A = this chain, B = another copy of it.
């Protein structure tokens, strides 16, 4: 353990040294690094797939669920998708060096904020190996060094991917040490990492609620937390029910294990009688289980083919991460707003309505990272928002909120061009 800690500290110092050079590396060199990474992912896909097979077999042997194994699995199509995403990020504007709010003061000082990298970013994440690529390329493009620590179930896949990233980046001229990989899944090393506030400028925990809570409570440096999504869909009395059905189905069923999946439908009493059975029937095609309040149960009990249960108090504010949805009939938009304020996690919330005022009130009054009118909560995603990828989805209010892409991995400094000015 002692030597592992020493090695981690050396990695931290190497990352810090690299970050200083990365801060002044040209956009061309950074983009070339990303292009190399994209090409090498394709060229070396057999290496990746071979390493991934080791992880996959170990996961099977350990009895990992099929859904979790699917998150872990890499094949040619997925690797090609990753390679394409890297090029998308390469094509985005470089956030570093952007001047914000530049102006000349009455005394002649020309000043503004210049966007600069944060420095060294540590990312702690779980199963999906593509996160290794997403976080590496976003950090590098934004001029940051990165320390990666993935889950043990993907250790072979991550090791292969990091090797490709490191070699491709070095070939483009990025400083050695820019991408560090903690090739050790001992949990105690995470504790050590969270103490390295002199080296690491930001920690991003990306995984389950336990990991996030542990990092937030124990890190000595700033943390951006997020990824816990208790997402509501409010179906207003003036909703277009066909939109409500499509959105409720997409948000609940398309990928139930992710943070932007729907957890709870709140439906106005005046539309519940006609609308709720249609939503429930559509859900039934995918086997969604409904935990309904009394009024919802009364409406749905006529259809014996539905999976319906009586909701318990713990169902409100629960992130199901499964084909289960809570449903509640409400008297008004106001009741829905109060429910969301009480039970939401500040991630993604949506209204379906054809009423202009209801839409604006919902968008203005709901306090969450992403608020939708007439669209699926599943859009809360860096790729979908046009950010190329994301290092995570922040549900805090400081620094960044929602999907975090390139800009969210930067800070700024004020630069001031003077000609001898002194303060009067």
Residues of A within 8 A of B (CB): 20, 23-24, 103, 105, 109, 111, 113, 116, 118-119, 201-202, 222, 240, 242-243, 246-247, 249-251, 254, 341, 359, 363-365, 367-376, 378-380, 384-386, 396-399, 401-403, 411-423
Contact = CB atoms under 8 A, between A and B. Distances in A.
A398 B411 contact: yes
Contact of A399 (B109, B247, B399): B399
Given A386-B105, A397-B201, A413-B402, A422 B376 contact: yes
A367 B359 CA distance: 44
Given A243-B420, A378-B423, A419-B374, A202 B398 contact: yes
How many copies of this kind of chain does the complex include?
2
A103 B341 CA distance: 27
B423 A376 contact: yes
A46 to B, nearest CB: 30
A222 B396 contact: yes
Contact of A118 (B20, B23, B246, B398): B398
B413 A367 contact: yes
B417 A373 contact: yes
A2 to B, nearest CB: 27
A412 B419 contact: no
A24 B364 contact: yes
Given A23-B367, A399-B399, A375 B421 contact: yes
B422 A385 contact: no
Given A373-B418, A398-B411, 18 more contacts: A23-B367, A24-B364, A119-B397, A246-B420, A246-B422, A369-B413, A372-B416, A374-B417, A374-B418, A375-B416, A379-B416, A379-B423, A384-B423, A385-B414, A397-B411, A398-B399, A401-B411, A402-B413
* Most chain B CB inside 10 Å of its own CB: which residue of A371, A412, A421: A421
A24 B385 CA distance: 26
Contacts of A119: 397
A260 B365 CA distance: 40
A365 to B, nearest CB: 7
Nearest to A106: B386
Contacts of A23: 367
A416 B373 contact: yes
A403 B419 CA distance: 22
Contacts of A372: 415-416, 418
Of listed A105, A403, A423, residue having the most chain B CB within 10 A: A423
A416 B403 CA distance: 13
Contact of A371 (B202, B413, B421): B413
Given A367-B116, A370-B413, A247 B375 contact: no
A13 to B, nearest CB: 15
A380 B201 CA distance: 23
Contacts of A421: 374-376, 379
Scoring A24, A116, A202, A418 by chain B CB atoms within 10 A of each residue's CB, the highest score goes to A418
Nearest to A376: B422
